[in-house]
Structure 1
Amino acid sequence: MSALPFGHLSSLVTAALSFSLAAGAGQAGAIPVAAAQAPAAPAGTALVQGRAAATANPLYAAGVLPSVACPAGSIKAGSAASYKAFMTRVARCLGLAWGIQFGKAGLDFTPPELRFATSRVSSPCGKWPAGAGGYYCSSDRTIYIGLTRAVLKNPYGPNHAQFMAHEYAHHVQQLAGILPYYGRAVWRAGTPARLALSRRLELQADCLASAFLRGAAGDLQVTPEHWEAMLEWTARNGHKSWPKNDHGRGSSQAYWMERGFERGAPRACNTFTAPRRVVD
């Protein structure tokens, strides 16, 4: 294992970040992250509704997520422009991979938009979630990413790629009907059940993100040593930003990240039928 400083992994997934304005980083509008090369999905497959959208989604039967070339470049410490360029390229790679996967499942796919912000901007989904370095809003299908001094000090690309892939996975869940099911289910649930559903949703996003990262590991410079360091850091620290345990324990996050990376298939990410002990 490499002696990778765990401090380089501080923004993994949606860890807490300080939202002081990043020096020299202007707030950008929404950027379309279209995957022009992604094939159109075949027509005729109806979107699965209700609980089956989470437990028996067509994406689970579509095989391994395709490996895609992802020459995202590198991040220059302190450079908002290089960070935005890197994250935008990763988002385009995600669009290509998921566009192919949705096509294999016979589902329609459209990419989200991407917005970088130097402050906790509001969205149609409400205020910026506490503790989050970024978030996905299903109402406007936009990924919001914070541009902060803490983020720009950290040029470690695989860390940020995993973070982007996690937020992109929420868009995948929206298009596949999983997020709409979740929204209806939590509306009717009590607090313990809401937290349990939230953990299943977030841990699935961890897993789906890692399935993508597996197929782009070479271009994104995810070495075995760095990946093991990311898992170890997550197991020890992944839960610390979420006092209500709505994202799962650090050990659960690491479990689903490792599962997605090893298997590379959405089928391995079906947290909604997984035993409680691995989604706590």
Structure 2
Amino acid sequence: MEWRGRRQSQNIEDRRSASTPGTGMGRDPFGRSGLRIPVGRRGGGLSISTIIILIVLYFVLKMMGIDMLQMLDGGSTSGPGYEQTVQRELSPQEKEIGSFVGVVLAETEDTWNTIFSASGERYEEPKLVLFSGAIRSACGLASSATGPFYCPGDRKVYLDTDFFRQLAQQFGASGDFAQAYVVAHEVGHHVQNLTGILPKFNQMRQTMGEGEANRMSVRVELQADCFAGIWAKQTDQKGLLSAGDIEEALNAAQQIGDDTLQKRSQGYVVPDSFNHGTSAQRMKWFKRGYDAGKVKACDTFSGDV
């Protein structure tokens, strides 16, 4: 992708220089993962001496600037001891990745501003937060293990750019357009949020069983893939794509399909647990968006996917 020298989005929030060590905790905005603090058995309790020790420990740590209550609550993006824990200078490579993401986000803005404007509507551009380790969002505490995600609560895309290295080294999906596809997919969820698709799904999910919710989640994810394909089409029409770029995106879609990921991690697949779509489905819908270049081609909620 020819991205150097192009406009970078002003909607990037780069928080990587104030990093927080990853905790392994996180909550996907679709509720697919998370870590809960275990609760003791009924009938159990703490002794008086233990309670006194904990109270004394709390105030000692408080005097040292460590708020245990804040830590148990999942931290804060602005309070002491969270994002200010580690201040560091970004490496040249990290700065370049940030610039690349800024250009990709700007290109998605151009695409969706044009599409919304053609329908007489206004596109509300999302913010994209770059972070390192862990971060607090309106959807909860997220870590690098969560992967890139879109949070409907604050209308922001969250991305730990270390995921790009994982995408290449662990998933076998290298190339800058594979990375661009990931960003465009998450922006696709923002489009779904603006058009009411995501809120409706989240409302419906409250009354669904796990299997039904997973099947509906697949349709939501495949539509975001299709929207990413629309963006790729418009970017290609600008003459910004290089030979092999579309193949890089399709390879990424293949490598992160539910069936491929499950085979890699556990040696077998459990279709009822799929919530993003198979490799074939993800490739199919990205390609459909790219070939048609129109939103009406991305109806994943009618018929088979």
TM-score, normalisation: structure 2 = 0.60
The alpha-carbon distance between structure 1 residues 118 and 232, as it changes in their structure 2 partners (threshold 3 A), is closer
Match of 1:90 in 2: 104
Give yes or no for contact 1:199–1:246 (8 Å, CA) kept in 2. Answer: yes
Match of 1:162 in 2: 181
Match of 2:55 in 1: none
Per-residue CA distance 1:160-216 (angstroms, 9 max, x = gap): 111110011111111111111111111111111100110010000001001101111
Task: Tell me how large the CA RMSD over aligned residues is.
Answer: 2.7
1:114 CA displacement: 1.2
Structure 1: gaps (5+ residues): 1-24, 29-76
1:149 CA displacement: 7.5
Which of 239, 254, 258 is the matching residue for 1:235? 254
1:264 CA displacement: 0.9
After superposing the two structures, state which structure 1 stretch, 99-108 or 153-162, moved more.
153-162
Match of 1:142 in 2: 156
Name the SS for the 1:128 alignment partner: strand
Match of 1:248 in 2: 277
Residue identity in the other structure for 1:187: Q
Give yes or no for contact 1:236–1:251 (8 Å, CA) kept in 2. Answer: no
Give yes or no for contact 1:27–1:116 (8 Å, CA) kept in 2. Answer: no
Name the SS for the 2:206 alignment partner: helix
Match of 1:48 in 2: none
Which of 215, 225, 235 is the matching residue for 1:196? 215
Name the SS for the 2:134 alignment partner: coil
Equivalent runs, 1:107-126 vs 2, <5 Å: 107-126=121-140
Residue identity in the other structure for 2:241: Q
The alpha-carbon distance between structure 1 residues 102 and 150, as it changes in their structure 2 partners (threshold 3 A), is closer
Residue identity in the other structure for 2:199: P
Residue identity in the other structure for 1:173: Q
Structure 1: which 4+ aligned runs deviate by more than 4 Å?
A: 129-132, 152-155
Match of 2:45 in 1: none
Q: Does 1:262 align with 2:281?
A: no
The 2-side partners of 1:163 and 1:138 are apart by 17
Per-residue CA distance 1:126-154 (angstroms, 9 max, x = gap): 23378543111111111111122853996
The 2-side partners of 1:111 and 1:79 are apart by 26
TM-score, normalisation: structure 1 = 0.65
The 2-side partners of 1:95 and 1:215 are apart by 11
Aligned residues: 203
1:231 CA displacement: 2.4
Identical positions, percent: 27
The 2-side partners of 1:182 and 1:150 are apart by 29
Q: Does 1:176 align with 2:195?
A: yes
The 2-side partners of 1:185 and 1:159 are apart by 32
The alpha-carbon distance between structure 1 residues 102 and 182, as it changes in their structure 2 partners (threshold 3 A), is same
Per-residue CA distance 1:57-105 (angstroms, 9 max, x = gap): xxxxxxxxxxxxxxxxxxxx97010111111111112112111211222
Residue identity in the other structure for 2:108: L
The 1-side partners of 2:120 and 2:175 are apart by 36
The alpha-carbon distance between structure 1 residues 194 and 229, as it changes in their structure 2 partners (threshold 3 A), is same
The 2-side partners of 1:95 and 1:216 are apart by 11
Structure 2: gaps (5+ residues): 1-15, 20-90, 169-173, 263-269
Give yes or no for contact 1:207–1:261 (8 Å, CA) kept in 2. Answer: yes
Give yes or no for contact 1:167–1:205 (8 Å, CA) kept in 2. Answer: yes
The 2-side partners of 1:137 and 1:163 are apart by 15
Name the SS for the 1:122 alignment partner: strand
The 2-side partners of 1:182 and 1:166 are apart by 17
The 2-side partners of 1:198 and 1:153 are apart by 22
Give yes or no for contact 1:79–1:152 (8 Å, CA) kept in 2. Answer: no
Equivalent runs, 1:24-173 vs 2, <5 Å: 26-27=17-18, 79-128=93-142, 132-148=146-162, 151=165, 156-173=175-192
